[in-house]
């Protein structure tokens, strides 16, 4: 019997536990032994459950000091404690699987090197795009390809908001309330709508793809918190659609990495990714592009990726990463043609404008090809709620 422990028993923890039990015999055939959850860490033990209460503990020491537990699945969502849990587990020669994108993105290189040193697995497929199998294939692709671009829609909440503003012709605030009622958005949705969640995922993907540490602080971000019906209607009337896109590119000068609203035409592969769905595209020298799309969140969707990682860890079916490149961050030099909707109380330098449309209390501007930082320098003294910016990427 192979004993494992779960840290956290929320939505993902419950999904993981159910998938493990439902597929117990199939998993046994693959790993050549019975995989059994023998401990579950839970902060509050005063709760109702059909499971044996002896499974649960509120003391991490009960798990870390159990030498028979070979693998720990971290699903707490707590950055400070999860760092300690993962570090101590690896140092105690226990394999680690985590769904916690925040802790992976913050301590990616440290955990990777520590796991290698202790000859255990550190796997995190579910930390990016939930059920989408992208981390493991990306590792394999990076071995035989020079991957030069990673692009995708990595946050289901923001994609739901943008999709339903268009579909239902609603204001941002109304669709946000709908998403919160459905459980798609947190009470405080800042990380989702301002691109922080997608940034963390892009950091992980880019580091693997480019074989170089691309840190959170190296990635630019601008979100969708100031978008309005005016913007959505303008895009719709022009057969365009806006998505919160995460993208990293690599060339001989260095890399750029950003999360921002991007305006797409109908022939773009991201155009029809709607609702809470995610997509990831990778571009390498052996092919034009590879992509994987599907549901980016959910109990069983995320739990599915967690269980695959558990199997891979126990079978030692994983690739050790090497971060052997020193790349220059060129993100501040990014250029593009930008959409700007701004209150008619304000203006920007005429030399940046390609064309302009008056729309009631707002002005819609299409810029010339300009440096992104020049545009945002023009906007720095204007309240963020008074404007919305998106980059045109029209094929």
Contacts of 285 (CB under 8 A, 6+ apart): 145, 146, 148
Domain ranges in the chain are 2-127, 135-295, 335-393
201 as an active site residue: the answer is yes
Full-model pTM: 0.95
* Homologous superfamily, domain 135-295: Dihydrodipicolinate Reductase; domain 2 (3.30.360.10)
d(CA 387, CA 341): 5
Query: Is there a common fold for 2-127 and 135-295?
Result: no
Is the separation of the CB atoms in 134 and 128 below 8 Å? yes
Kindly state the helix (H) or strand (E) to which residue 175 belongs, with its residue range.
helix 172-182
Identify the CA nearest to 353 among candidates 371, 335, 370.
Answer: 370
Q: What is the pLDDT of residue 46?
A: 85
Residues contacting 200, CB < 8 A, separation 6+: 101, 102, 104, 105, 216
Q: Which pLDDT score, from 0 to 100, does residue 379 have?
A: 97
User: Where in 29-125 does DSSP place strands (E)?
Assistant: 35-41, 56-57, 69-74, 95-98, 122-123
pLDDT at 32: 95
- Among 39, 42, 101, 201, the active-site one is 201
* pLDDT value for 395: 61
Residue range 2-127 in CATH 3.40.50.720: yes
How many whole angstroms separate alpha carbon 33 and alpha carbon 24?
10
Q: What are the residues whose beta carbons fall under 8 Å from the beta carbon of 295, sequence distance 6 or more?
A: 130, 131, 132, 156, 276, 277, 278, 301
Question: What pLDDT does residue 131 have?
Answer: 75
Comparing CA positions, the residue from 194, 197, 187 lying closest to residue 101 is: 197
Query: Tens digit of pLDDT per residue, the chain (395 long)?
Result: 999 999 999 889 999 999 999 999 999 999 999 999 999 999 888 888 888 889 999 999 999 999 999 999 999 978 889 999 999 999 999 999 999 999 999 999 999 999 999 999 999 999 998 778 999 999 999 999 999 999 999 999 999 999 999 999 999 999 999 999 988 888 899 999 999 999 999 999 999 999 999 999 999 999 999 999 999 999 999 999 999 999 999 999 999 999 999 999 999 999 999 999 999 999 999 988 999 999 877 788 889 999 999 999 999 999 999 898 999 999 999 999 999 999 999 999 999 999 999 999 999 999 999 999 999 999 999 999 999 999 999 76
């Amino acid at each position: 019997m192979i004993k494992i422990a779960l840290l956290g028993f929320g939505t993902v923890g419950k999904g993981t536990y159910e998938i493990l039990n439902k597929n117990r015999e199939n998993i046994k055939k693959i790993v050549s032994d019975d995989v059994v959850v023998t401990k579950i860490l839970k902060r509050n033990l005063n709760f109702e459950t059909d499971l044996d209460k002896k499974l649960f503990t509120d003391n991490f020491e009960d798990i870390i000091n159990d030498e028979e537990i070979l693998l720990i699945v971290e699903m707490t969502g707590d950055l400070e404690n999860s760092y300690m849990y993962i570090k101590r587990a690896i140092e105690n020669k226990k394999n680690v699987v985590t769904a916690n994108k925040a802790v992976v993105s913050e301590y990616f290189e440290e955990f990777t090197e520590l796991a290698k040193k202790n000859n255990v697995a550190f796997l995190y497929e579910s930390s990016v795009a939930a059920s989408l199998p992208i981390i493991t294939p990306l590792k394999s692709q990076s071995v035989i390809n020079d991957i030069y671009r990673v692009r995708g829609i990595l946050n289901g909440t923001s994609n739901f908001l943008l999709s339903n503003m268009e579909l239902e012709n609603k204001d941002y605030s109304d669709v946000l309330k709908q998403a919160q009622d459905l459980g798609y958005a947190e009470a405080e949705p800042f990380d989702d709508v301002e691109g922080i969640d997608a940034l963390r995922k892009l950091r992980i993907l880019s580091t693997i793809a480019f074989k170089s540490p691309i840190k959170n602080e190296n990635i630019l971000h601008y979100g969708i918190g100031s978008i309005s019906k005016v913007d959505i209607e303008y895009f719709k009337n022009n057969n365009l659609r806006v998505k919160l896109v995460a993208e990293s590119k690599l060339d001989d000068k260095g890399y750029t990495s950003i999360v921002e609203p991007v305006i797409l035409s109908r022939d773009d592969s991201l155009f029809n990714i709607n609702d809470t769905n995610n997509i990831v595209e990778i571009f390498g020298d052996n092919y034009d592009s590879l992509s994987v799309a599907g549901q980016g969140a959910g109990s069983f969707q995320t739990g599915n990726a967690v269980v695959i990682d558990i199997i891979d860890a126990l079978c030692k079916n994983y690739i050790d990463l090497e971060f052997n490149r020193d790349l220059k961050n060129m993100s501040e030099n990014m250029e593009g043609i930008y959409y700007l909707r701004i209150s008619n109380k304000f203006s920007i330098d005429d030399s940046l404008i390609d064309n302009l449309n008056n729309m009631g209390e707002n002005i819609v501007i299409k810029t010339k090809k300009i440096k992104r930082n020049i545009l945002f320098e023009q906007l720095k003294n204007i309240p963020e709620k008074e404007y919305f910016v998106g980059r045109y990427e029209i094929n």
